[in-house]
A = this chain, B = another copy of it.
Amino acid sequence: MTAPSAVKAALSSQAIETPSWAYGNSGTRFKVFAQQGVPRDPWEKLDDAAQVQRHTGAAPVVALHIPWDRVDDYAALARHARERGLRLGAINANVFQEDDYRLGSVCHPDAAVRRKALDHLLECVDIMDATGSKDLKLWFADGTNYPGQDDIRARQDRLAEALAAVYERLGEGQRLLLEYKFFEPAFYTTDVPDWGTAYAHCLKLGEKAQVVVDTGHHAPGTNIEFIVALLLREGKLGGFDFNSRFYADDDLMVGAADPFQLFRIMCEVVGGGGFGPGVAFMLDQCHNIEPKIPAIIRSVMNVQEATAKALLVDRDALAAAQSAGDVLGANAVLMDAYNTDVRPLLAELREESGLDPDPVAAYHRSGWAEQIIENRKGGQQAGWGA
């Protein structure tokens, strides 16, 4: 297996991006269970994100969601982040929460609604300019619920037109990251339902357009690491939205439902040259019933552990067994790395960086949880809708 020192060096370079909205309340269509101490604005979300970074040292980037994180002064927000050891990451557009978007946004049959949605997307690029964000992440809730409701091809035409307009607006060093999703909230067609659709659009747009793989957005049984390998081979993998699921888009903590799958995904990232600045490791999760900050810390650790294992894989032994057609031998090389307990190695790495070896315990000892419950009384708690 790879030397621990090399593994630690690689791990030190990994920056995991946490989503501002995961610090706020979330839920299902049945109920949002409010939690105590939840942030009431983007500034407080960054304060919480700083706690995750403080204890893990691996989560220095925070993604924003507009309009949930709309502020008057984005430069000030970026400064607030920097002062806490953070930087602002992807800007996530939202064109699904206004009444106008009942039948879609950029794919809507009505040109006026499409224009409104496009304006919002362009506004998000303005915000990127202000925050210094490099990535515009686009997920569209667009789709239809009933056969015949709208024309599939016409909607693709509208989508292509909007994407082209946004792409045109991108500045130097900025990317458009297109996310796909199997279904929900649309229940018959979804306008970007799979990696193939996202890939086809990005291919036409050009080099600055890449695909985002949300690990919860696939049909049952889909081999996600295969998609990751393909997109890396095509230079079209822009990043991940990490989370995990047993059923649909459950948005559980990454690594909670199928840690072996997460490992296999990270193996393709490592093996496919995706472990570098080009691929964003973002979380996109909902902590509906568990406390949010420790859940995010745990999630960051899960990504680190899967990455460590993937880095440990003895690539030479693997390649040798593969080319010899040694099915069991090649599988055993992979499983050897997976079965290794990498927690001691990560504890060491943390201690070498001046961190507590156990981030969750350190967070609990820090008193932050009690402090925010005490201090954040009154006001409107942040959530998906605010």
By a CB distance below 8 angstroms, the chain B residues around A332 are: 148, 298, 360
Inter-chain contact B146/A268, CB cutoff 8 Å: no
Inter-chain contact A30/B322, CB cutoff 8 Å: no
Instruction: Kindly state whether residue A270 has any CB partner on chain B within 8 Å.
Output: no
Inter-chain contact B233/A153, CB cutoff 8 Å: yes
Inter-chain contact B290/A252, CB cutoff 8 Å: no
* Binding stretch for chain B, among A64-72, A73-81, A216-224: A216-224
Out of B185, B230, B272, B333, which one reaches A197, CB within 8 Å? B230
Closest Cβ neighbor of A97 among chain B residues: B31
Closest Cβ neighbor of A313 among chain B residues: B148
By a CB distance below 8 angstroms, the chain B residues around A193 are: 223, 226
Inter-chain contact A252/B109, CB cutoff 8 Å: no
By a CB distance below 8 angstroms, the chain B residues around A272 are: 153
* Binding stretch for chain B, among A46-54, A82-90, A98-106: A98-106
Closest Cβ neighbor of A194 among chain B residues: B196
Instruction: Kindly state whether residue A189 has any CB partner on chain B within 8 Å.
Output: yes
Inter-chain contact A96/B331, CB cutoff 8 Å: no
| CB proximity of A156 to chain B, nearest CB, Å | 6
Inter-chain contact B258/A258, CB cutoff 8 Å: yes
Inter-chain contact A147/B234, CB cutoff 8 Å: no
Inter-chain contact B152/A184, CB cutoff 8 Å: no
Interface set, chain A 150-173, CB cutoff 8 A to B: 150-154, 156
Instruction: Kindly state whether residue A343 has any CB partner on chain B within 8 Å.
Output: yes
By a CB distance below 8 angstroms, the chain B residues around A219 are: 218-222
Instruction: Kindly state whether residue A27 has any CB partner on chain B within 8 Å.
Output: yes
Inter-chain contact B187/A145, CB cutoff 8 Å: no
Closest Cβ neighbor of A203 among chain B residues: B203
Interface set, chain A 184-219, CB cutoff 8 A to B: 184-185, 187-190, 193-197, 199-200, 203, 218-219
* Binding stretch for chain B, among A11-19, A126-134, A243-251, A370-378: A243-251
Interface residues in A, total, Cβ within 8 A: 104
By a CB distance below 8 angstroms, the chain B residues around A291 are: 328
By a CB distance below 8 angstroms, the chain B residues around A189 are: 223, 226
Inter-chain contact B343/A339, CB cutoff 8 Å: yes
Closest Cβ neighbor of A288 among chain B residues: B145
Contact pattern, A 284-306, Cβ under 8 Å of B = 1, otherwise 0: 00001111001100100000010
Out of B146, B153, B245, B319, which one reaches A187, CB within 8 Å? B245
Inter-chain contact B223/A33, CB cutoff 8 Å: no
Residues of chain A touching chain B, judged by Cβ–Cβ distance below 8 Å, are 26-31, 33-34, 96-97, 99, 101-103, 109-110, 141, 145-154, 156, 182-185, 187-190, 193-197, 199-200, 203, 218-223, 225-226, 229-230, 232-234, 245-248, 250, 252-253, 256-261, 264, 268, 271-272, 288-291, 294-295, 298, 305, 318-319, 321-325, 327-328, 330-335, 338-341, 343, 360, 384
Can you add 16 more A-B contacts, CB < 8 Å, to A148-B330, A194-B195, A200-B234? A28-B29, A29-B384, A30-B184, A145-B252, A146-B330, A150-B330, A184-B248, A187-B250, A194-B196, A196-B200, A196-B230, A203-B203, A219-B219, A248-B248, A289-B327, A328-B360
17 contacts between A and B (CB under 8 A): A28-B29, A30-B97, A30-B141, A31-B101, A103-B327, A148-B332, A149-B331, A152-B268, A193-B223, A194-B196, A197-B230, A199-B200, A200-B234, A219-B221, A219-B222, A256-B331, A258-B260
